[in-house]
Amino acid sequence: MFALFCVIANTHASITCPRLSSTLSYTQSNAPRDISSILRVVVEKVNRELEGVIDVDVEWTGSELHRKVGKYDVTAKVTRRIKQAGGAMEESTDCFSVPFVIHDDDECNLPVGHAMRHKCHESAFCVNTIGGYQCECRKPPASSSSEAWALSLLSSSCPLSSTSDCCGTDDCKADFVCPVDLCGSNGGSDCDVKTGAKCVSEVFADGSGATYKCQCPDDLYGNGHVCNPGDVPPNPKVGFDGLPTESTRTANFCGCTKPSVDQCAGFPPCSAKNTACTVPADGKGGPPTCECKPGYVDTPEHGCVDETPPTLKLRCDPNNNGVMKLKQGDNYEECAVDIMDDNAEDLARTLKIKYSEPLPSGCLRKMGSFTVNYSVATPWTDPPFQEVARTVEVGDLDECKISSKQAQFYCPEAMPRCDVASGAVCKNTVGSYTCECPKCTTGDGFLPISGINPDDPLKPFNYNGGTGCVDSCKPDLKLHGPNPRVFRVAKNNGIQGLTSKGKEVSTGFIKSESGDRNYDAEVKALIRGSEGVELCATKDNAATVTSRHCATASDTTPSGVVDLSDKIMVGDPVKSPKQPNMWRVPYNVVDKIGNRADTVWRDVVVEEMSFEEYEAALRKDFEEEKKRAVEEAVARATRKEKGDCDDKVRRLEEGGKQERGKGGGRNSNKCAKCPPPPKCPDFDGKDDNGLRMELRTCQSDLGEVKRKMTDRTNEGGGGGRGGGGVDKTLASTLEEVFPLFLLLILGSSTLGLLILVLQRAKNVLVGTSSVARGKGGVERASALAKSVTYHSPRHGTGSVSGNGSMAGTVQPETPQSARSGVFSPGSAGSGKTMQSPVSYSLSPITPSRMSKR
């Protein structure tokens, strides 16, 4: 519980509560604005000087401090919990007085921008007072205050000389200004007193303020102000009646000037055309008369007429050749002509404009030229008219370079209407344009254009109703992976794939209605179960193979090449009527427009093999894989040797050049130029024997280089130190390089021999571990069958040991397959087959794409 009240009292009031030790002191600018601002300060001071405070009651009278200068006390009733002499805690309530004082700030000297700085007008000055300030005039106004303010342009919130008696707020002081005499020491300074002008103050008729004017004497004319550079020289005039002329009344001449007499001023206006009041030229001062104006002659038929006929000048003709050049799509704007005739307004004129061809209502669409003829009738001249002609040439517009914003601005009809979204390209032609469709599309390339008839001469070139560009090319479909895809099957097992998902499909071979092995159903099940990826699977990609490894498709469209690989459709296999155990699997794809690609086919061949053939195939696969690994290792080592060889030769050649350069001297030119050493040949793709042969050839060439360099050294033995130094350096370098090459050749040969020995040893081990061909081959077949794992429908989805299959291993190509392009299982191996009463499934090598059965 915490209640907060406050009492503010002047120090003159009776204080019954003890005062705290220290006094809170503030200046006006830093003091709290009201009592709510000091509550926190009072409570904080009580808690800081007293101990055990548990409750504070502060009372206040409701009066507002608002930074008023003076001394104040805040009374607070404080309840404390104090420990007594016996140790018991008792609560005690006492009142305390918190003193504080607010000191005066000098508002007149506070910096500009300070919130408490004075607000006096520049016509007054600031006087500081205790707790505030006043604004006063520097000189008291005239004896009659109303007269002083009546003659001043300024208005004030207080018509006195000080704000002390009439302004209690800052807003009133801010609006207080001192009166200014308009014609005082500084007022009316622009009156031209030299010409007799006098400053006169006057009050506005509505009493809202006052102003002054410079007044000329009665016999002079002007505004009385001093003439400035650029002012019209004063030339006031009066008519024969003594009154100022109209030009004098409206001219507002500066200064004060005596007027001259205009004899025609006030004379009755002349009624005849092109006549004006004229003063007799004899100088006798006779009365004025009506005569022809200057530039006119008096004729009996037409009265006063212009003696010079008007001249026509073409507007918009910067080259002064009468030709205006425009382009298709521009709007022809009539510039007309300038009629050069000083008196054209005095007589009726007729301007005629004639076009050689009708103008369109909008922009110009047709190339060519036309003329515009302008003529003005002048019946008092011979011939009775004046004329001039303009030639307008309309050139070709390249519509293909117009942006849509430009076309909307001045000629929407000129905007090319090509089917850009379908790849059409705008091509400019003379006077028109055409739209060309890209490859693999048909149509006129245009979007439909409203308001264009087939016979319209302004229709674009080759426009045929706006058929656009329609895709017409078939998608490009390509197969990847083995083709044909060959599955090897032991006679007593089904087709075996390599991937896990393909194996889930091949849980055993499927029998036909006659009881024979139904490879057709197995092939279909394998393709559907693996979503076709089994057809392109190999041992190397069995874990990562996807449909994109089997076939890809792309479609060339106006917007670019579109990948259709994910939309390829794999059809059901079709049994070959000519080749046993062979199927053809169709692939096709259709693009967005409906164009169908040419069907491509992948052949699937099932090879039935005996155990002897199967074992031979296994051995061959192992030998080929081992040979490939050896060749890759030898190739890598040989490429490294070849690079080292090239580096040595390059350093050798560069070292010889440097030594020859250092030799210099008078005999350096006697050293014959050494032939460049040959570079080692490229070893990529060579077999082991070929690589060794080329290394030996490289070393032989290096030896020949060394010998030639030695011979040249002997020939130039006394030729100078420079030449001998070069030969010795080259010979020394060759001696260092040659053993390194011999060491590399020896290492390569040792590696090849070691690999050969390991190969022979492995062949012997494999041969001894094979099942012996005894007892009619029964034991050997049995041992081989036990070493193979296969899936049988008799055992559900589990694996059982028995006769297995090897998938993905392709038999050597036979002459028949080489001619037909399709592997021929009938000519592979020994041609023998083993019949078995048990049927087995194809084993897949791709990950499964169908649930286990």
Task: Give 670: exposed, middle or buried? Use CB within 10 Å, 0-12, 13-18, 19+.
Answer: middle
DSSP state of 405: H
Q: Cα separation of 20 and 352, whole Å?
A: 107
**SS (HEC) of 446-508:** ECCCCCCCCCCCCCCCCCCCCCCCEECCCCEEEECCCCCEEEEEECCCCCCEEEHHHHHHCCC
* Least confident residue range of 148-152, 416-420, 717-721: 717-721
DSSP state of 422: G
Residue 488 in tokens: 């090897």
Q: Cα separation of 386 and 376, whole Å?
A: 5
Residue 63 above 70 pLDDT?
no
pLDDT band (50, 70, 90) for residue 625: confident
The pLDDT of 656-680, averaged and rounded, is: 53
Coil, helix or strand at residue 230: coil
Provide φ and ψ at 610, rounded to 5°.
-80, 170
Fold annotation for 314-395: Immunoglobulin-like (2.60.40)
Contact in structure between 506 and 842 (CB atoms under 8 Å): yes
Q: Identity (one letter) of the amino acid at 613?
A: E
- Residue-level pLDDT at 209: 64
Q: Cα separation of 381 and 310, whole Å?
A: 10
Residue 393 above 90 pLDDT?
yes
In 315-405, DSSP assigns E strands to 323-327, 337-340, 351-355, 368-377, 385-395
Alpha-carbon dihedral of residues 350, 356, 358, 361, nearest 10 degrees? -70
Token pair 């100088």: residue: 283
DSSP state of 347: S
Strand partners, 257: 221
The pLDDT of 235-252, averaged and rounded, is: 85
- Residue-level pLDDT at 30: 80
Domain segments of the chain: what residues? 8-103, 193-262, 275-304, 314-395, 399-471, 476-610+778-807+833-845, 631-769
Q: Cα separation of 93 and 57, whole Å?
A: 10
- Burial of 359-370, coded b for 16+ CB within 10 Å and e otherwise, reads eeeebbbeeeeb
- Residue-level pLDDT at 729: 47
Provide φ and ψ at 64, rounded to 5°.
-100, 130
Count of CB atoms within 10 A of residue 4's CB?
14
More confident residue, 113 or 12: 113
Cα distances from 328 to residues 395, 414, 430, in angstroms, run 6, 8, 11
The pTM assigned to this predicted structure is 0.36
Provide φ and ψ at 134, rounded to 5°.
-130, 155
Provide φ and ψ at 786, rounded to 5°.
-70, -25
Contact in structure between 265 and 277 (CB atoms under 8 Å): no
Terminal CA-to-CA distance of the chain, rounded, Å? 80
pLDDT band (50, 70, 90) for residue 84: confident
- Residue-level pLDDT at 716: 46
- Please check whether the two domains, 8-103 and 314-395, share a CATH topology: yes
Q: How many helices (H) and strands (E) does the chain have?
A: 12, 37
The overall average pLDDT reported for the chain is 73
More confident residue, 832 or 39: 39
- Residue-level pLDDT at 389: 95
Residue 344 in tokens: 């054209």
The pLDDT of 650-659, averaged and rounded, is: 72
Q: pLDDT by residue (tens digit) across 259-280?
A: 988 878 878 888 888 889 888 8
In percent, how much of the chain has pLDDT > 90? Answer: 17
Counting every residue written for the chain, the total comes to 853
Q: Cα separation of 836 and 614, whole Å?
A: 15
**SS (HEC) of 3-26:** CCCCCEEECCCCCCCCECCCCEEE
Residue 597 in tokens: 């690609």
- Residue-level pLDDT at 553: 94
More confident residue, 35 or 840: 35
Residue 94 above 60 pLDDT?
yes
Geometric angle at alpha carbon 720, from 715 and 724, rounded to 5°: 55
pLDDT band (50, 70, 90) for residue 694: low
More confident residue, 724 or 211: 211
Closest Cα to residue 504, out of 789, 791, 788?
Answer: 791
Find which of 301-315, 334-348, 788-802 is predicted with most confidence, using mean pLDDT: 301-315
Q: Cα separation of 375 and 838, whole Å?
A: 115
- Residue-level pLDDT at 683: 46
- Residue-level pLDDT at 771: 34
Q: Cα separation of 27 and 101, whole Å?
A: 8
Q: pLDDT by residue (tens digit) across 730-741?
A: 455 555 555 656
Residue 392 in tokens: 């307008």
Residue 384 above 60 pLDDT?
yes
The pLDDT of 521-529, averaged and rounded, is: 87
The pLDDT of 540-567, averaged and rounded, is: 86
In 491-628, DSSP assigns E strands to 497-499, 551-557, 560-563, 569-570, 574-575, 582-588, 600-609
Q: Cα separation of 423 and 435, whole Å?
A: 10
Q: Identity (one letter) of the amino acid at 709?
A: M
- Residue-level pLDDT at 655: 72
Residue 145 above 60 pLDDT?
no
- Burial of 72-92, coded b for 16+ CB within 10 Å and e otherwise, reads bbbbbbbebeeeeeeeeeeee
- Residue-level pLDDT at 495: 60
pLDDT band (50, 70, 90) for residue 443: very high
Q: Identity (one letter) of the amino acid at 719?
A: G
- Residue-level pLDDT at 71: 84
Provide φ and ψ at 250, rounded to 5°.
-100, -10
Q: Cα separation of 792 and 774, whole Å?
A: 28
Fold annotation for 8-103: Immunoglobulin-like (2.60.40)
Coil, helix or strand at residue 728: helix
In percent, how much of the chain has pLDDT > 70? Answer: 65
Q: Identity (one letter) of the amino acid at 586?
A: P
Closest Cα to residue 323, out of 395, 393, 396?
Answer: 393
Q: Which long-range contacts (CB under 8 A, 24 or more apart) does 115-120 make?
A: 115/29, 116/28, 116/29, 118/173, 119/170, 119/171, 119/173, 119/174, 120/173, 120/174, 120/176
Residue 653 above 60 pLDDT?
yes
> How do beta strands 70-83 and 8-10 pair?
antiparallel
Residue 311 above 60 pLDDT?
yes
Residues whose CB is less than 8 angstroms from the CB of residue 513 and which lie 6 or more positions away in sequence, other chains included:
none
Q: pLDDT by residue (tens digit) across 755-802?
A: 776 665 555 444 433 333 333 343 443 443 443 333 333 333 333 333
- Residue-level pLDDT at 552: 93
- Residue-level pLDDT at 777: 40
Residue 140 preceded by cis peptide, ω within 30:
no
- Residue-level pLDDT at 718: 44
Residue 401 in tokens: 């370079």
Find which of 3-17, 84-98, 433-447, 499-513 is predicted with most confidence, using mean pLDDT: 433-447
pLDDT band (50, 70, 90) for residue 520: confident
- Residue-level pLDDT at 799: 36
pLDDT band (50, 70, 90) for residue 660: low
pLDDT band (50, 70, 90) for residue 614: confident
Residues whose CB is less than 8 angstroms from the CB of residue 760 and which lie 6 or more positions away in sequence, other chains included:
none
Q: Cα separation of 101 and 105, whole Å?
A: 13
Residues whose CB is less than 8 angstroms from the CB of residue 714 and which lie 6 or more positions away in sequence, other chains included:
none
Q: Identity (one letter) of the amino acid at 371?
A: T
Residue 519 above 60 pLDDT?
yes
Contact in structure between 842 and 496 (CB atoms under 8 Å): yes
Give the H/E segment covering residue 633.
helix 611-663
The pLDDT of 719-745, averaged and rounded, is: 52
Q: Cα separation of 499 and 541, whole Å?
A: 9
